Amino acid sequence: MDDPDVPQAAISDVPSTFGDGVVLLDVREDDEWQRGHAPQARHIPMGDVPARLAELDADAELYVVCHVGGRSQRVAQYLARNGFRPVNVTGGMLAWAGAGRPVVTDAGNVGTV
């Protein structure tokens, strides 16, 4: 089966706040998430996405992010095949942090990418 084309979003086109139908899905591993993530992001590691699809709102504007954009592209293609309309975040969390956007830990401290 062909992978559907997934829209790409430069970091400048990604919202900076999430909630109410706009979701930033972080698909990095637990250790990467714990070092730092975007405020309000949802964390579902790449390998857990198939088992946790029900946690995602199919009607939401869904931005998928990883470290630099490779894993999130694969997850976005999977989501698109399963009825979602995801957007891959080009450059991932490196681009997010590079644009000066906040990176936090679960404790609310300043995080790192």
89 is catalytic: no
Considering 41, 64, 66, 113, which one is annotated as catalytic? 66
3-state helix, strand, coil in the chain (%, to 5): 35, 20, 50
Cα dihedral 17, 23, 24, 29 sign = positive
Q: Which residues are catalytic?
A: 66
